[in-house]
Amino acid sequence: MVLNISEILKPEAIMMEMKAREKLAVIKELVDYMVANKFVKDGKEFVKALCKRENLESTGIGDGIAIPHARTNAVKGLILAFARSPKGVDFSAIDGKPSHLIFLIASPDDKKSEYIVALAKLSRLLRKHNVREQLKRADSPKEILDIIKKNEE
């Protein structure tokens, strides 16, 4: 399956600096942003699905990264959003460090394969130290997309 993170992530789904500092508030801020940009059908249902997963496991995967994710019919298709938090958010990460780079992934129930592939590709990409550092320093959504595109080639 050919699926590129740089193609799923749209410039209008990138928040260069988010305001919220607490996990649930971060999720809500990101979901509101996605609702405003018409990526999401039902914001409340989407938050519920994301919180269910957060309650079962930490999506803070360490190294300053969190990938909240859910499979739910509250979204229209496979979606990806990115937000940066300069001060960091406590996502109960495995390494105890705050998350500065937050990627939110979701898909409808019937897009399980694409959803799993997207999560796998994103996780692999974010294991690279240089990618994480570049994403922290990028100045614009375009730069974010360029970094991802260059590193997933």
Partner 1 sequence: MGAEYFNMKFKKVILVLTEDTDQMIITQVVKLCKKFRSKLFVLFVIEVNRASRLARLTHQKTDILDQEIEEGGWKLLYLVEDEAVESDVWTSLHLENGNLMDVLKKYIEAYDINTVLTKRKDETKEIFVSSPVPVIGL
The residues assigned a catalytic role are 69
User: Whole-number minimum distance, CB 57 to partner 1, in Å?
Assistant: 5
Give whichever of 76 and 121 is closer to partner 1, judged by the CB atom.
121
User: Whole-number minimum distance, CB 152 to partner 1, in Å?
Assistant: 10
Binding site for partner 1 (CB under 8 A): 52-53, 56-58, 61, 71, 94, 112, 115-117, 119-121, 123-124, 127
Q: Are 3 and 114 in contact (CB under 8 A)?
A: yes
Where in the chain does DSSP place strands (E)? 14-15, 60-62, 65-66, 69-71, 79-89, 99-107
Query: What is the rounded CA–CA span in Å between residue 71 and residue 26?
Result: 19
Give whichever of 20 and 119 is closer to partner 1, judged by the CB atom.
119
Counting Cα atoms < 13 Å in the Cβ hemisphere of 14 gives 20
Give whichever of 38 and 56 is closer to partner 1, judged by the CB atom.
56
